Chain A
Amino acid sequence: DVKVTQSSRYLVKRTGEKVFLECVQDMDHENMFWYRQDPGLGLRLIYFSYDVKMKEKGDIPEGYSVSREKKERFSLILESASTNQTSMYLCASSPYLAGLGSREQYFGPGTRLTVT
């Protein structure tokens, strides 16, 4: 079974702090993703990575950065946390897709971040 783990289930940080969210997958997947989830808005993609040291901005990258130094690990960084970044953060991974087929994303349990 694919396993995606996230470093914390719940996190409380203060405004202005630097926050690191870690994600690790054990299936040698090329692609990794960071989403935030807010009620009524579904999932919104922050960043994704298709290879080590490679990253692409998603729909809402402002205020976030990412790091992928090893294939299995993808970190989300909030350089200076703000209250509007209070949200659920979900990490996902998927294998590389050469053609169009069923390549679902596998998700971690999520980190509920509160910024006060």
Chain B
Amino acid sequence: AQKITQTQPGMFVQEKEAVTLDCTYDTSDPSYGLFWYKQPSSGEMIFLIYQGSYDQQNATEGRYSLNFQKARKSANLVISASQLGDSAMYFCAMREGQSNYQLIWGAGTKLIIKP
């Protein structure tokens, strides 16, 4: 079974609009961490934001915020005021508490910002 599911293979969004990228996860471990990465066409994976399973507040980093709904096992990335430079692949990943090392990755969402 998929542990990380990103249901949107691709999205088009108008510049300056907010965009939500979906991520659902599956784990029975009470301790886990959720990550979002951006991969521009250059190829390098760039860390955006992190949410721990015990964090009380939703994580925010500048224009990025994570809409964490624990009961629904969802960790959606919200980008406010999208910019052309936000066009990229976006990946959701999870680290389960038992493993210090491995991240489990979703298949990604290709986001294209239209001018």
A residues sitting closer than 8 Å to B (CB atoms) are: 9, 31, 33, 40-45, 48, 50, 56, 58, 88, 90, 92, 94, 96-97, 100-102, 104-110, 112
Apart from A42-B105, A50-B100, A109-B43, 10 more pairs, CB < 8 Å: A31-B101, A33-B101, A41-B107, A48-B102, A88-B43, A90-B43, A100-B32, A102-B33, A109-B44, A112-B43
- Would you give 7 A-B contacts (Cβ < 8 Å), ordered by A? A41-B107, A42-B91, A42-B107, A58-B102, A88-B43, A97-B100, A100-B53
Q: How far is the CB of A58 from chain B (nearest CB, A)?
A: 7
B residues sitting closer than 8 Å to A (CB atoms) are: 4, 9, 31-33, 35, 37, 42-47, 50, 52-53, 91, 93, 95, 97, 100-103, 105-108
Contact B101 A42 (CB under 8 A): no
C-alpha spacing A78/B52, complex, angstroms: 36
Q: Please, which residues of chain B bring their CB within 8 A of the CB of A9?
A: 43
Contact B91 A43 (CB under 8 A): yes
C-alpha spacing A48/B43, complex, angstroms: 20
Give the top 5 A-B pairs by smallest Cβ distance, nearest first. A107-B45, A102-B50, A42-B105, A110-B43, A104-B47
C-alpha spacing A101/B35, complex, angstroms: 11
Given A42-B91, A58-B102, the answer on whether A106 and B47 have CB atoms closer than 8 Å is yes
Find the A residue at minimum CB distance from B110: A39
Q: Please, which residues of chain A bring their CB within 8 A of the CB of B97?
A: 100
Contact A109 B42 (CB under 8 A): yes
Given A109-B44, A110-B44, the answer on whether A104 and B35 have CB atoms closer than 8 Å is yes
Q: How far is the CB of B29 from chain A (nearest CB, A)?
A: 10
Contact A45 B35 (CB under 8 A): no
The contact of A42 among B31, B43, B106, by CB within 8 Å, is B106
Contact B101 A50 (CB under 8 A): yes
Q: Please, which residues of chain B bring their CB within 8 A of the CB of A92?
A: 45
Contact B91 A48 (CB under 8 A): no
Contact B108 A48 (CB under 8 A): no
